[in-house]
Amino acid sequence: MADGSKHADLRVNGERLWGSLMELAQIGATDKGGVCRLALTDLDKQGRDLVTRWAREAGLTVTIDKIGNGFLRREGKNPALAPIVTGSHIDTQPTGGKFDGNYGVLAGLEVVRTLNDHGIQTEAPIEVAFWTNEEGSRFVPVMMGSGVFAKAFSLETAYAAVDTTGKSVKGELERIGYVGPEEPGAHPIGCYFETHIEQGPVLEDHDVTIGVVTGVLGIRWYDCVVTGMEAHAGPTPMALRKDAMQVATRIMQEVVAIAHRFPPHGRGTVGMVHVHPNSRNVIPGRVKFSIDLRNATDALCDQMDAEIRAFIRKTSEETKLPITIELVSSYPAQPFHAECVEAVGNAAAALGYSNMRAVSGAGHDAVYMARLAPSGMIFIPCKDGISHNEIEDAKPEHITAGCNVLLHAMLSKAKAV
């Protein structure tokens, strides 16, 4: 077993974990079986209160920092050691599911409960973290709590963020009572693991139980604008048109083609399109659309960037239409620490679970934690790869398997005594 100890046969209580997930899912439950529990709402407070109550009942001490991140600590034999941390988030999308984020927090709590059940002490402390506003559906930026913790942006920037009604992060944190005394980032982390549903279809497609996550894809977001000339759809001959839509669709197809040229982790998506004047019988004069390019390394992202820019230059020259492309957001690729990846892989293998190397196409709090400490992630399948949707689902046996892997990966670092 990964912890190399007499505790090789140790397993979590899967029914208890599932029951906790279902109980938390009642806070903000939707008619379609999902959850709407937006960051820093009254429902988020109820979720936080429930999780921290469970933590205290399990003998954990609770620390909250100034951005509302929570740290639930089980003391180790040597309190001077940096804690082995796991966690995720409990805020959801407006039409979210029961498992995204919530699973990672409650899996950590189940690890602690299991250690308590068996009277197992660890050399290093173990902590379960929940991070504020990971989803970014009410306030931006996304992954706010972990981002402030990692100094990716300042506490003041986060505090100043407002929702669509003008309510601020600081005001809402104060209102729900989750502005703690600790400075974000002052909390030591020895290493970090995050357990999560995959949010994609790869594991299910391969009929594999555990994804051993090696890293998170780099992301480049662009706005592209093609400028043509509006004209009447009837009188204007095809050869004399300056149709911005037809030129834009050529670029959109190239976005997908570029992703196919950079397998296996190349991604290319056009998800947002604005057409002007957007009239049935007017040739489009201006089209603005988003481009989303992703890959496993920054070098590959750079190559994809160069290819789309070259194609746009060529297309503009051929069509004689102005085309602009602007990089509006960029997240570097984040590889996970080799020892943490190995700990997850070893635990999965020793437990007898089918497993494969995987990458995360979505961002997670582990991205920021990996800048501070050795980090890794564990994926389990979700039904049809669907997430950020009320029908998001996962099998109880997969929920249990991922938590068992987390238990033994953490024990390999915290050292049972």
Is residue 396 one of the residues assigned to a domain? Answer: yes
**In which domain, by residue range, is 341 found?**
14-216+333-414
Is residue 7 one of the residues assigned to a domain? Answer: no
Pair 322, 236 in one domain: yes
Degrees, nearest 5: CA angle 235-239-240: 60
Last residue of a domain, one of 331, 354, 370: 331
Is residue 1 one of the residues assigned to a domain? Answer: no
Is residue 4 one of the residues assigned to a domain? Answer: no
Given this model, what pLDDT does residue 6 score? 75
Give me the residues of the chain with pLDDT under 50, please: 1-4
Last residue of a domain, one of 304, 331, 358: 331
Burial of 235 (0-12, 13-18, 19+ CB in 10 A): exposed
C-alpha dihedral sign at 143, 145, 149, 152: positive
How many Cα neighbours within 13 Å face the side chain of 289? Answer: 23
Q: DSSP E strands: which ranges in 217-364? A: 218-227, 231-232, 267-269, 273-276, 282-283, 286-295, 323-331, 334-335, 355-360
Pair 129, 241 in one domain: no
Q: Residue 291, Cβ neighbours under 10 Å: how many? A: 27
Pair 243, 286 in one domain: yes
Degrees, nearest 5: CA angle 60-62-66: 160
Q: Which two tokens stand for residue 89?
A: 């988030």
Is residue 345 one of the residues assigned to a domain? Answer: yes
Pair 144, 50 in one domain: yes
CA distances for 352 relative to 25, 314, 346, 347, 396, angstroms = 30, 53, 10, 9, 17
Pair 23, 130 in one domain: yes
Last residue of a domain, one of 301, 331, 361: 331
Given this model, what pLDDT does residue 5 score? 59
The domain that holds 358 is classified in CATH as 3.40.630.10
C-alpha dihedral sign at 390, 395, 396, 399: negative
Please, are residues 405 and 344 in contact by the beta-carbon 8 Å criterion? yes
Is residue 159 one of the residues assigned to a domain? Answer: yes
Q: Residue 386, Cβ neighbours under 10 Å: how many? A: 16
Is residue 2 one of the residues assigned to a domain? Answer: no
Q: What is the total count of domains within the chain?
A: 2
Q: If you count them, how many residues does the chain have?
A: 417
Per-residue 3-state assignment (H helix, E strand, C coil) for 75-144: CCCCCCCCCEEEEECCCCCCCECCCCCHHHHHHHHHHHHHHHHCCCCECCCEEEEECCCCCCCCCCCCCH
Q: DSSP E strands: which ranges in 284-322? A: 286-295
Over residues 190-246, the pLDDT tens digits come to: 999 999 999 999 999 999 999 999 999 999 999 999 999 999 999 999 999 999 999
Distance CA 369, CA 188 (A): 11
Is residue 394 one of the residues assigned to a domain? Answer: yes
Taking phi first (over 0 means left), then psi (-120 to 50 degrees means alpha), and beta for anything else, what does residue 347 get?
alpha
Pair 83, 229 in one domain: no
Pair 318, 361 in one domain: no
Degrees, nearest 5: CA angle 361-365-366: 75
Pair 208, 80 in one domain: yes
Is 247 strand, coil or helix?
A: helix
Please, are residues 124 and 190 in contact by the beta-carbon 8 Å criterion? yes
Pair 123, 196 in one domain: yes
Q: Which residue has the tokens 């997430």?
A: 387
Given this model, what pLDDT does residue 41 score? 98
End-to-end CA distance of the chain: 15
Over residues 363-377, the pLDDT tens digits come to: 899 999 999 999 999
The domain that holds 223 is classified in CATH as 3.30.70.360
Given this model, what pLDDT does residue 3 score? 47
Pair 41, 125 in one domain: yes
Pair 256, 317 in one domain: yes
Pair 160, 40 in one domain: yes
Nearest to 106 by CA among 89, 119, 92: 89
